[in-house]
Structure 1
Amino acid sequence: MPKRLLALAISIATSGIGLTTVLGPIIAGALRAVFGSSPTRKRRSSAASRMGGSAPRTPRGRLDDAQDIVGACHHAARLRHADPGPWTVLLGVLRDLRRNPREGFPVWDEIIRRDPWHREGYLQMLGYLSPEECGSSTQQNAFVDSAMARMPFGAPPAALEPHVLLGRYRRAVTGDGLTGLLADRIFNQPFAESVLSRALSTWPRPGFLRHAAALADLNVLAYLAAHARHRDAANAFRAVGATVTPWPWRLGGDPLEQYSTWRKYFPDPRMRRVRSLRARRPG
C-alpha cells in the first residue's frame, strides 16, 4: 500500500469515527508491509514523519491490494453512511490506479454530499486532476475556480490555490535547462502574486484558519512565501512557529533544516523592534 493511502487509512482509524473494525485488517496489513511484523516505536515515528505530504506515486495501474481496499471502503461506507472518510480513501485508490477521472467524479460527489468542505477530499481531487496524474492544467484550474467561487473564507480546503502554485513551482524547478533555472520567475506571475498576497494578509491572523490541518496549510504558505522572497513571508513563519510539517519542506532536504535556514532570511520585524528598544535602553 502506498504511504499516502496508508496515511489516509490511519487517519480514518484514529479519528474516533468507529471505522477501525472495518478497515482494521487493511491497516494492519499495510503496517506489516511498511514496518515488518514487529515495528519499533522509533521506526513508526520515522515513517509517520514521512507521511506529512504527498506520498510517492505508485507505478501506473498497479496497486496490489486495491481490490481489498475498495471492498473495505464500500463496506465501511455502508456501515457509516454519513462519513466521507471511506470515499476519500477510495478516491486515493483510483488516483494510484490512474483511472480516468470520469470514474473519480462519482466518488467525489459522495464525499462532498457528506461534507461540502472536506479538506482531504478536495486535495485528493486536485492531485487527481493534475497534469502529472490523470488530468491537465485546464481541468485542474477549472476545478479550483469552481471551488473557490463558492468557498467560505477560512474553510478547510482554503489552500487549494497555494497547492496549485506549489505544483507549478515544482514542475518548473524539475524542468530541463532554462525552465529550471528560471523557476523562481513563476512567483512574478499575476496568479502567484494574487494568491500569496491574499493568503499572507489573512491566514496568519490568530484564529483565521480553524480547521485541524491549519498548521499544514501555514507551512505550505511559508514555503511559497520564502521561495518567492515575499515581503510578508515573516508573517507566515511567525504563524507556523515551531510546528514544522515534513511537506513541503522535505522537497529541499531535511524539513527542519530547510525550515530553519529559510526562516533566518525572514526574521520577525516585531522581534527586531524589541531588540532595538533593548539596545537603546540606558544601562
Structure 2
Amino acid sequence: MLRRRPSPLIRPELDDHILHRTLLELRPAQQLHGLGAGRSSPLWEPVAELLRATGRDWDRRAHRVSVLAQGLPAVVSERWAADRPDDGDALVLRAFVRSARAPAEGDSAVRQAEQTCLRAAAASPEDPTPWLALLSLMHACAVPVRDAVPVWTQAVERAPWHRAAYHLLLRYLSPRGHGAVPDMMDFAWQAAFRAPHGSPIALLPVAARVELVAHRQDQTGLAALGEGGHWNEPRAVQEIDTALSRWFHTAAAPHAEAVIDLNVLAFALIRAHRPAEAGLVFQRMGRHMTRHPWALLPEPERTFRYWRDQLTGRRRK
C-alpha cells in the first residue's frame, strides 16, 4: 500500500518551536481584533516575553528578532517602542523592521533607520544584534564593503564567531552582493580554519561555494545541472570534509539556524555524489527544508523530498 510521506516543512522560524508558537499566538489577534484591539494585554507582550526569555543567547536572539521583524506587522514594533521607549528589546526589533523597509522608502527613511539601529545599540551596549540590523541596511543600500567591515567588527567583538554576523559579511562579499569571488572565498576559508572546533563557521566555505554556483548560474541563466563540477574539485572536497569533521560530527549543541546549515551541507553532499554522508544530514534535519540552496535546482521541493526519502529509507511501500 502506498503511504504518503510528510511534505517538506518550509518556514522562516525553522525548528524554533517556541518562536513558531509566538507567531501563531499573534496571528489570530491580528485577524480578529484589528492588530490587537480588544486584547486585555498589549499586542507586543508575547514578543517581549519571548525575547526576555532568549536572554544573552545572541545567536538565537538574532534569529528570533529577524523572523519577528519579517513576520509581524510593523505596527507591533512601533507600538512596543512607543509604550516602552527605553526597552532594548523593543528598540532592536524596531531597528530590524525599519532597516528592512527603509531602502524602498528613500533616503530619509534610510537615515531614520540608521539612527534607530544606533539608538538600539546604545540602549544595549553588550548586544551585537543592532549592529546586524545596521549591516543589513548597509548591504541593501550598496554601501562599499570597506565601510561595512567596521560595523561587522562591532558585532563580532561582542559575540565572537557569531554565525549570523559571518554569513551577513559573506553575503556582502559575494559577487551577488558587493564583492568579488576571491575575497569571498578567502574570507570564508580563513574564518573556517580559525573558528573553534564545533562552530558552524566551519561550514562557511561550503556556503561560499553555493554562492559561487548561484552567481555563475545567474550569469549563464542555466540551472545547476550536470556533473556538478564545482563540487568535485579538490578544494571543494576539503571544504565539505572540514564542515563534516569540525562541525557536523562534533558534539556541539544545535544553534538557532542549524537547519539552514544542514540544508546547505546536504545539498553540497548530493552535488558531490556522497549519498551515504548526505543521508546522515537528512536524518538530522528531518522535514525542515530551506528554499536556498535547493532553488538552484529544478523542482526544488520535489528534489529535496526525493533525496530525503531515498537516503533515509522513507520510500513509499
Q: Same fold (TM over 0.5)?
A: yes
Q: Which residue of 1 aligns with 2:68?
A: 10
Matches of 1:111 and 1:257 in 2, distance apart?
A: 38
Q: Which residue of 1 aligns with 2:90?
A: 21
3-state SS of the aligned residue for 1:145? helix
Matches of 2:151 and 2:96 in 1, distance apart?
A: 21
Matches of 2:211 and 2:224 in 1, distance apart?
A: 14
Matches of 1:124 and 1:29 in 2, distance apart?
A: 17
Counterpart residue type for residue 195 of structure 1: E
Matches of 2:183 and 2:286 in 1, distance apart?
A: 35
Q: Which residue of 1 aligns with 2:20?
A: none
Counterpart residue type for residue 305 of structure 2: S
Counterpart residue type for residue 155 of structure 1: S
Matches of 1:89 and 1:227 in 2, distance apart?
A: 33
Question: Unpaired segments of 5 or more residues in structure 1?
Answer: 34-57, 276-283
Q: Which residue of 2 aligns with 1:240?
A: 285
Query: Which region of structure 1 is more displaced relative to structure 2, 154-163 or 108-117?
Result: 154-163
3-state SS of the aligned residue for 1:157? helix
Asked whether the 8 Å contact 1:222–1:233 carries over to 2, the reply is yes
3-state SS of the aligned residue for 1:133? coil
Counterpart residue type for residue 109 of structure 2: D
Matches of 2:311 and 2:67 in 1, distance apart?
A: 37
TM-score (norm 1): 0.70
Q: 1:219 to 1:161 in 2, by over 3 A?
A: same
Asked whether the 8 Å contact 2:264–2:293 carries over to 1, the reply is yes
CA deviations on 1:186-214 (whole Å, 9 max, x unpaired) are 11111211122333456444743532222
What count of residue pairs does the alignment treat as equivalent?
238
Asked whether the 8 Å contact 1:203–1:209 carries over to 2, the reply is no
- Cα displacement (A) at 1:220: 1.1
Matches of 1:21 and 1:110 in 2, distance apart?
A: 20
Matches of 1:95 and 1:156 in 2, distance apart?
A: 23
- Cα displacement (A) at 1:10: 3.0
Matched, 1:192 2:236: yes
Matches of 2:178 and 2:281 in 1, distance apart?
A: 32
Counterpart residue type for residue 238 of structure 1: Q
Matches of 2:107 and 2:294 in 1, distance apart?
A: 28
Asked whether the 8 Å contact 2:69–2:93 carries over to 1, the reply is no
Question: Unpaired segments of 5 or more residues in structure 2?
Answer: 1-11, 13-62, 71-76, 78-86
Matched, 1:129 2:168: no
Q: Which residue of 1 aligns with 2:220?
A: 176
- Cα displacement (A) at 1:76: 0.4
- Cα displacement (A) at 1:126: 0.5
Counterpart residue type for residue 91 of structure 2: V
Equivalences for residues 233-272 of structure 1 within 5 A: 233-252=278-297, 256-267=301-312
Asked whether the 8 Å contact 2:134–2:151 carries over to 1, the reply is yes
Counterpart residue type for residue 100 of structure 1: P
Matches of 1:180 and 1:216 in 2, distance apart?
A: 19
Query: Which region of structure 1 is more displaced relative to structure 2, 245-254 or 93-102?
Result: 245-254
Matches of 1:22 and 1:78 in 2, distance apart?
A: 10
- Cα displacement (A) at 1:105: 1.1
- Cα displacement (A) at 1:176: 2.5
Asked whether the 8 Å contact 1:155–1:211 carries over to 2, the reply is no
Percent identity for Structure 1 against Structure 2: 27
Equivalences for residues 57-76 of structure 1 within 5 A: 65-76=109-120
Equivalences for residues 29-178 of structure 1 within 5 A: 65-176=109-220
Asked whether the 8 Å contact 2:203–2:247 carries over to 1, the reply is no
> RMSD value over aligned CA atoms?
3.7
- Cα displacement (A) at 1:29: 6.8
Counterpart residue type for residue 66 of structure 2: L
Q: 1:190 to 1:64 in 2, by over 3 A?
A: farther
TM-score (norm 2): 0.63
Q: 1:70 to 1:149 in 2, by over 3 A?
A: same
Query: Which region of structure 1 is more displaced relative to structure 2, 195-204 or 210-219?
Result: 195-204
Q: 1:72 to 1:178 in 2, by over 3 A?
A: closer
Counterpart residue type for residue 140 of structure 1: M
3-state SS of the aligned residue for 2:201? coil
Asked whether the 8 Å contact 1:73–1:86 carries over to 2, the reply is yes
Matches of 2:297 and 2:95 in 1, distance apart?
A: 33
3-state SS of the aligned residue for 2:220? coil
Counterpart residue type for residue 10 of structure 1: L
Matches of 2:149 and 2:169 in 1, distance apart?
A: 9
- Cα displacement (A) at 1:215: 2.1
- Cα displacement (A) at 1:89: 0.8
